[in-house]
């Protein structure tokens, strides 16, 4: 009997004392939430503490406890480890092959945590002048990164024999979150958590093998495969994404990396002081600003008077999570109701600065004259770094037109002058690092800051700054101290290097090119394909990567980008053709009877039909569809009308059969599907806001799509599904 079964027998027999008010909120199913409730009771842990020990998110744990989402077998293994260590035996191993330390989210320290290194002799070799491009020595031929071309031949020779794989598709749902050093090390527009990928890869390749990701993005497939000991080939159209993948898979000396970061911060300490100093309002000491919040001046559409938005749009609640920036409020001059989204903007002005000095809390104060003078002076300092600033103009695009409407028509204008100075100065010092691999690793820290240090960083009362997959210019934005952000991101990346990267024992190759032409790979050479392809029109990757690529100096050739984008003159048919061409190449290089796993989600029935047709036209058979839950539940996700829920894994197989027919059947009514799901209706727990539980139509839609695609049935759009599902539930009320 396995540990999971023992756990279920031992701990799922206790009844919950929580009254059940509605059948939609019942705790049912094969993995009862009682196991987690009981574990917290016996271990005397809060939900947050248990989530941390399970290396998962609080949101996911709440969903498992209420019983409407299913934890993966690996999660149940970890829970069994916590409760009953005696269940471990020498013959048992984790299904994922990934011990918790591989994707750690807490406390790994090294000698380089000692700040006294700053006072010692500088061990970092630097150049007299910065290299022209950070990519000069690591992306030489415009296709392979580092010594990838040489390593590719060695890997193909070593993996000439087919690896063992599964006879039947993986039937488990996967649940994996983003709360690890590796996931947090560098942002990307969409990422699949590597611990979840590791579970899939180890299931299909129990003895290792050769893995391919033709749409590699930030390289999370490579992270999972290398840690497991498999070799991995990553192909990606974008030079920026390839750069991110290359650095995620790099193995460097963490101490040298840390010293290089400290070296740059020490050299630029005076500039940091000149740009971001402020005076503590209590003790008078000079301290560094953490951030400055800027607010646009808006024009009332009734009386045409000007006002600073920040001064009139705030509403404070009992907790910081309840604080709000109001969308609708009275004009301070005429008193008539205005909607801030409909008002014309003038220029942004600084509203307040934030710092920490005499107490542990961050305090926020209006700017002093000296604070305002520092902002003015940054424009003069900027002239010293004119040669280090990207001059790329923003072309027309779905996302690129957003900042252009507000006058930000170049990449440089997306930054405040002060933050542009700081970024340019750091970028210059990175390019002066003598070791090209070390320079690349520290440049990885720079690119990890992405939108956090631009005008695109929306202010939040509770802190933090999300990197959204668009270029929206918020009306109230957060100007973060670039040096603080750089220091903090460097520490997270260092912890990735001393945890996950230190455990790598497979080899990797990163290649920049189109998935429609994998000419560098021979037929029947790959043991497993795991990929997260473009989701139709959801994310405009080539546009969003422009911010990175303008600093790196290499740009995406979007000719073969699989996307729906009117500025590229690509509609749903063009997207399907490009996906078909890409998947035909995937079919060609994959070995017979081996597997391709696609992670995908979209709210459009037409996109789903296009993807299904592309899979079948390429020659694959779809043998299983199930859920890959990234545990990214947020308030915005559940109240936004255009956001879908959990991603799906589509398990496809290359067989010897030549039958590629696609016989699509009419799907059952949505109401029939909802009735079948009544005993396990998913429910949204709004953890951080005062809002009652609601049916999670997005997770329900994921289940609906999984069932329909698996059974070869038609699907409906998410908006139609939500309307019909709500009507079906209302009829039962």
Distance of CA 679 to the CA centre of its chain: 32
So what's the pLDDT on residue 266? 96
Q: 261 with 244, same domain?
A: no
Q: How far is CA 710 from CA 286, 564, 667, in A?
A: 63, 25, 11
**Over 90: is that where the pLDDT of 39 sits?**
no
How confident is residue 92, by pLDDT bands cut at 50, 70 and 90?
A: very low
So what's the pLDDT on residue 3? 37
Q: How many CB atoms lie within 10 A of CB 609?
A: 17
Please say which residue of 600, 627, 658 terminates a domain.
Answer: 658
**Over 90: is that where the pLDDT of 449 sits?**
yes
How confident is residue 104, by pLDDT bands cut at 50, 70 and 90?
A: low
So what's the pLDDT on residue 46? 83
The mean per-residue pLDDT over the stretch 190-198 comes to 91
Strand-pairing partners, residue 469, are none
How confident is residue 465, by pLDDT bands cut at 50, 70 and 90?
A: low
Highest mean pLDDT of the ranges 20-24, 115-119, 338-342: 338-342
**Over 90: is that where the pLDDT of 65 sits?**
no
Number of domains in the chain: 3
The mean per-residue pLDDT over the stretch 89-102 comes to 40
So what's the pLDDT on residue 120? 45
Nearest to 542 by CA among 245, 326, 240, 214: 240
Q: 344 with 452, same domain?
A: yes
Kindly tell me the burial class for residue 333, based on how many C-beta atoms sit within 10 Å of its own C-beta (0-12, 13-18, 19 or more): middle
Distance CA 599, CA 606 (A): 17
Secondary structure (3-state) at 65: helix
So what's the pLDDT on residue 1? 41
So what's the pLDDT on residue 4? 37
The pLDDT tens digits of the residues spanning 414-442 come to 999 999 999 999 999 999 999 999 999 99
So what's the pLDDT on residue 27? 37
Q: 393 with 464, same domain?
A: yes
Tell how strand 324-325 and strand 314-315 pair up: antiparallel
Q: 513 with 475, same domain?
A: no
So what's the pLDDT on residue 85? 60
Q: 302 with 371, same domain?
A: yes
Distance CA 729, CA 675 (A): 8
How confident is residue 35, by pLDDT bands cut at 50, 70 and 90?
A: confident
Query: Which CATH number characterizes residue 205's domain?
Result: 3.40.50.150
So what's the pLDDT on residue 466? 60
So what's the pLDDT on residue 8? 35
Place of tokens 């040489």: 150
So what's the pLDDT on residue 68? 67
The mean per-residue pLDDT over the stretch 202-214 comes to 97
The mean per-residue pLDDT over the stretch 388-392 comes to 94
Average pLDDT, the chain: 86
Q: 180 with 261, same domain?
A: no
Cβ pair 230, 204 in contact under 8 A: no
So what's the pLDDT on residue 540? 93
Asked if residue 539 belongs to a domain, the reply is yes
Tell how strand 508-512 and strand 231-236 pair up: parallel
Q: 185 with 63, same domain?
A: no
Q: 40 with 174, same domain?
A: no
**Over 50: is that where the pLDDT of 100 sits?**
no
The mean per-residue pLDDT over the stretch 524-536 comes to 96
Asked if residue 489 belongs to a domain, the reply is no
Asked if residue 724 belongs to a domain, the reply is no
**Over 60: is that where the pLDDT of 97 sits?**
no
Secondary structure (3-state) at 570: strand
Q: Which residues contact 519 (CB under 8 A, 6 or more apart)?
A: none
Q: 537 with 573, same domain?
A: yes
Asked if residue 487 belongs to a domain, the reply is no
The pLDDT tens digits of the residues spanning 548-598 come to 999 999 999 999 999 999 999 999 999 999 999 999 999 999 999 999 999
Cβ pair 195, 55 in contact under 8 A: yes
Q: 269 with 241, same domain?
A: no
Cβ pair 451, 465 in contact under 8 A: yes
**Over 80: is that where the pLDDT of 267 sits?**
yes
Please say which residue of 95, 128, 147 terminates a domain.
Answer: 95
Query: Which CATH number characterizes residue 64's domain?
Result: 1.10.260.40
Domain that holds residue 30: 3-95
Nearest to 270 by CA among 488, 491, 483, 485: 483
In the sheet that 210-213 helps form, which strands lie side by side, from edge to edge? 174-175, 621-629, 647-653, 590-600, 526-531, 210-213, 231-236, 508-512
**Over 60: is that where the pLDDT of 476 sits?**
yes
Question: Would you list the DSSP string of 151-179?
Answer: HHHHHHHHT-SPPP--SS-----EE--S-
Asked if residue 730 belongs to a domain, the reply is no
So what's the pLDDT on residue 688? 53
So what's the pLDDT on residue 117? 41
How confident is residue 59, by pLDDT bands cut at 50, 70 and 90?
A: low
Higher local confidence (pLDDT), 29 or 279: 279
Distance CA 481, CA 291 (A): 5
So what's the pLDDT on residue 646? 81
So what's the pLDDT on residue 44? 84
How confident is residue 86, by pLDDT bands cut at 50, 70 and 90?
A: very low
pTM here? Answer: 0.88
The mean per-residue pLDDT over the stretch 19-34 comes to 40
How confident is residue 691, by pLDDT bands cut at 50, 70 and 90?
A: low
Distance CA 206, CA 591 (A): 16
Tell how strand 210-213 and strand 231-236 pair up: parallel
So what's the pLDDT on residue 377? 96
Please say which residue of 61, 95, 129 terminates a domain.
Answer: 95
Cβ pair 627, 647 in contact under 8 A: yes
Higher local confidence (pLDDT), 63 or 249: 249
The pLDDT tens digits of the residues spanning 281-329 come to 999 999 999 999 999 999 999 999 999 999 999 998 888 878 889 999 9
Nearest to 63 by CA among 644, 642, 673, 693: 693
Q: 455 with 534, same domain?
A: no
How confident is residue 686, by pLDDT bands cut at 50, 70 and 90?
A: low
Q: 318 with 296, same domain?
A: yes
So what's the pLDDT on residue 17? 34
């Amino acid at each position: 009997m396995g540990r999971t079964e023992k756990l279920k027998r031992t701990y799922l027999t206790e009844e919950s004392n929580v009254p059940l008010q509605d059948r939609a909120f019942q705790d049912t199913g094969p993995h009862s939430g009682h196991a987690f409730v009981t574990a917290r009771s016996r271990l005397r842990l809060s939900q947050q503490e248990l989530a941390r020990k399970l290396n998962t998110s609080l949101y996911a744990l709440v969903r498992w406890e209420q019983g409407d989402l299913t934890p993966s077998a690996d999660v149940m293994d970890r829970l069994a480890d916590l409760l009953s260590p005696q269940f471990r035996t020498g013959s048992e191993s984790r299904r994922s092959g990934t011990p918790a330390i591989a994707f750690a989210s807490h406390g790994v320290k090294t000698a380089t945590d000692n700040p006294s290194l700053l006072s010692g002799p500088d061990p970092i070799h630097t150049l007299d002048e910065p290299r022209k491009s950070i990519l000069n020595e690591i992306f030489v031929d415009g296709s392979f990164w580092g010594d990838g071309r040489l390593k590719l031949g060695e890997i193909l020779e070593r993996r000439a024999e087919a690896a063992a794989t599964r006879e039947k598709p993986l039937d488990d749902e996967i649940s994996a979150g983003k709360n690890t050093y590796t996931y947090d090390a560098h942002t990307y527009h969409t990422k699949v958590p590597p611990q979840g990928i590791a579970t899939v890869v180890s299931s299909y390749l129990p003895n290792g093998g050769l893995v391919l990701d033709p749409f590699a993005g930030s390289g999370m497939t490579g992270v999972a495969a290398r840690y497991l000991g498999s070799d991995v080939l990553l192909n990606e159209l974008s030079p920026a994404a390839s750069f991110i993948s290359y650095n995620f898979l790099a193995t460097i000396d963490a101490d040298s990396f840390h010293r290089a970061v400290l070296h740059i911060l020490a050299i630029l300490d005076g500039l940091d002081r000149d740009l971001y100093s402020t005076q503590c309002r209590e003790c008078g000491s000079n301290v560094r600003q953490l951030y400055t919040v800027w607010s646009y001046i808006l024009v009332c559409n009734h009386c045409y008077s000007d006002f600073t938005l920040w001064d009139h749009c705030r509403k404070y609640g009992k907790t910081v999570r309840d604080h709000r920036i109001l969308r609708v409020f009275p004009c301070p001059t005429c008193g008539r109701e205005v909607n801030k989204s409909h008002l014309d903007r003038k220029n942004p002005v600084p509203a307040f600065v934030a710092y920490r000095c005499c107490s542990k809390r961050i305090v926020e104060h209006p700017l002093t004259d000296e604070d305002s003078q520092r902002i003015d002076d940054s424009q003069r300092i900027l002239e010293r770094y004119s040669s280090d600033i990207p001059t790329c103009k923003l072309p027309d695009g779905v996302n690129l037109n957003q900042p252009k409407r507000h006058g930000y028509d170049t990449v440089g204008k997306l930054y405040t002058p002060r933050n542009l100075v700081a970024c340019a100065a750091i970028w210059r010092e990175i390019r002066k690092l003598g070791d090209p691999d070390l320079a690349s690793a520290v440049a990885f820290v720079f690119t990890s800051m992405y939108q956090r240090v631009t005008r695109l960083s929306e202010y939040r009362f509770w802190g933090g700054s999300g990197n959204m997959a668009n270029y929206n210019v918020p009306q109230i934005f957060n100007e973060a101290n670039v040096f603080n952000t750089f220091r903090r991101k460097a520490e997270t990346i260092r912890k990735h290097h001393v945890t996950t990267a230190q455990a790598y024992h497979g080899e990797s190759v990163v290649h920049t090119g189109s998935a429609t032409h994998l000419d560098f790979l021979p037929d029947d050479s790959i043991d497993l394909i795991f990929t997260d392809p473009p989701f139709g029109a959801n994310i405009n990757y080539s546009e969003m990567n422009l911010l990175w690529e303008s600093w790196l100096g290499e740009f995406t050739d979007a000719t073969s980008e699989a996307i729906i984008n009117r500025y590229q003159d690509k509609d749903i048919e063009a997207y399907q053709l490009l996906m078909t061409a890409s998947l035909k190449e995937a079919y060609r290089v994959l070995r017979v009877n081996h597997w391709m796993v696609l992670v995908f989600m979209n709210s459009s029935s037409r996109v789903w039909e296009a993807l299904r047709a592309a899979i079948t036209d390429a020659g694959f058979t779809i043998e299983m569809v199930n859920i890959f839950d990234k545990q990214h539940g947020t308030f915005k996700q559940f109240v936004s009308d255009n956001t879908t829920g959990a991603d799906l894994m589509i398990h496809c197989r290359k067989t010897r059969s030549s039958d590629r027919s696609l016989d699509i059947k009419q799907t059952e009514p949505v109401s029939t599907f909802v009735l079948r799901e009544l005993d396990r209706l998913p429910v949204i727990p709004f953890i951080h806001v005062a809002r009652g539980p609601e049916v999670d139509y997005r997770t329900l839609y994921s289940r609906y799509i999984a069932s329909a695609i698996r059974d070869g049935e038609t699907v409906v759009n998410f908006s139609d599904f939500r309307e019909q599902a709500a009507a079906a539930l209302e009829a039962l009320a």
